[in-house]
Amino acid sequence: MSRVAFGALLAALAAVSANAMSAGIDTDGDGKASLEELQAVYSGVTSELFAEIDADADGFVDDEEMADAVAAGVLEDPVTEL
Ligand SMILES: [Ca+2]
Ligand SMILES: [Ca+2]
């Protein structure tokens, strides 16, 4: 991969992860999304889907997990959603 392409990829990933928690999902401001916070934005999120997105199983979806879910097509990009 060229240096330019890698830089663009990093920028794209940073944009997604920066957007995830600034798109109105994290309403209590703790920097991560609970099941309730996620469901407020994505009505289709079940506890099963949440567990799938919550890769480290700490009970919250953080920026990285959110970005992974968006990249995997599990969730819509919250910015285009709103
Ligand atoms: Ca939160
Ligand atoms: Ca997590």
Q: Which ligand is nearest to the CA of 26?
A: 1
> What does the pLDDT average to over 58-71?
93
H or E, element range at 42: none
Q: How many domains does the chain have?
A: 1
Instruction: Say how many Å lie between the CA of residue 51 and the centre of ligand 2.
Output: 9
pLDDT of amino acid 68 = 93
Q: Tell me the residue range of the domain where 38 lies.
A: 3-81
Report whether 16 contacts 64 (CB < 8 A): no
pLDDT of amino acid 81 = 47
Tokens in use for 78?
A: 């919250």
Q: Which ligand is nearest to the CA of 68?
A: 2
Instruction: Say how many Å lie between the CA of residue 20 and the centre of ligand 1.
Output: 11
Instruction: Give residue for tokens 């890769």.
Output: 55
**CATH number of the domain encompassing residue 76:** 1.10.238.10
The CA distance from 42 to 56, in Å, is 20
Q: Which amino acid does the sequence have at 54? A: D
Write phi, then psi, for 25 (nearest 5 degrees): -80, -45
pLDDT of amino acid 11 = 67
Instruction: Say how many Å lie between the CA of residue 53 and the centre of ligand 1.
Output: 15
Report whether 14 contacts 1 (CB < 8 A): no
